[in-house]
Amino acid sequence: MLVVALNSLSDPAAVLRETQDLSVPSIIIENKTDYGRRAPAVNERLEIRQNARTLGHLLITPRYDKPHFSIVTYGEPARLIYDAYDEIVAETNALFDLLCMVKLSPMDLSGPARHMMKHEAILAVEDGSAPFGIGAEILSQLRGRAGSTVVSQCVAM
């Protein structure tokens, strides 16, 4: 069963079309608050790219500086974090990459892992409650790849 989460950082119709064209049973997680949102305002300091894998994740990176850590999430939290990017940087004095998962199941973190392993810390942000959740699964798989050298934490919105 394919589980996909829409977000408002890229075209939801494109994600729906790609999912539909796969012709497999699928569940689409949408978000009530995201429904009313338009595409995000351009932040000149950030670049939004999409991995070319099937239903690949979005990668939001600082355009001019090297990030210190990664945040991985999906769905509406990705938009909230994107919109608050500058505020978070001001509060933490640290730049970060933002990875927005599109395909939640079957979860394939080989692409994101390659990117996130560049940093020493990863924060998974869960839309639901933290225990036994998507964020926990993401961190579990990443730690399986990176061993215990990566500092990681999962929080719920």
By CB under 8 A, name the binding residues for another protein: 1-3, 5-6, 8-14, 16-17, 19-20, 22-39, 48-54, 56, 58-59, 75-76, 104-106, 108, 110-111, 114, 126-129, 132-134
Query: Taking the complex as a whole, how short is the minimal distance between the CB of residue 115 and another protein, in angstroms?
Result: 9
CB-based contact 63:89 (threshold 8 Å): no
| Nearest residue (CB) to another protein, 92 versus 156 | 156
| Nearest residue (CB) to another protein, 133 versus 143 | 133
Query: Taking the complex as a whole, how short is the minimal distance between the CB of residue 103 and another protein, in angstroms?
Result: 9
**What's the rounded Cα separation, in Å, for the pair 99 and 60?**
6
Query: Taking the complex as a whole, how short is the minimal distance between the CB of residue 40 and another protein, in angstroms?
Result: 9
Query: Taking the complex as a whole, how short is the minimal distance between the CB of residue 9 and another protein, in angstroms?
Result: 7
Ramachandran quadrant class, 23 (left: phi over 0; alpha: psi -120 to 50; beta: rest): left
- At 31, the amino acid letter reads N
Q: Cis ω on the peptide bond leading into residue 106 (within 30° of 0)?
A: yes
Structure tokens at 18: 């790609």
Query: Taking the complex as a whole, how short is the minimal distance between the CB of residue 124 and another protein, in angstroms?
Result: 13
**What's the rounded Cα separation, in Å, for the pair 13 and 15?**
5
| Nearest residue (CB) to another protein, 125 versus 150 | 125
| Nearest residue (CB) to another protein, 42 versus 90 | 42
| Nearest residue (CB) to another protein, 81 versus 127 | 127
3-class SS letters over 118-141: CCCEEEEEECCCCCCCHHHHHHHH
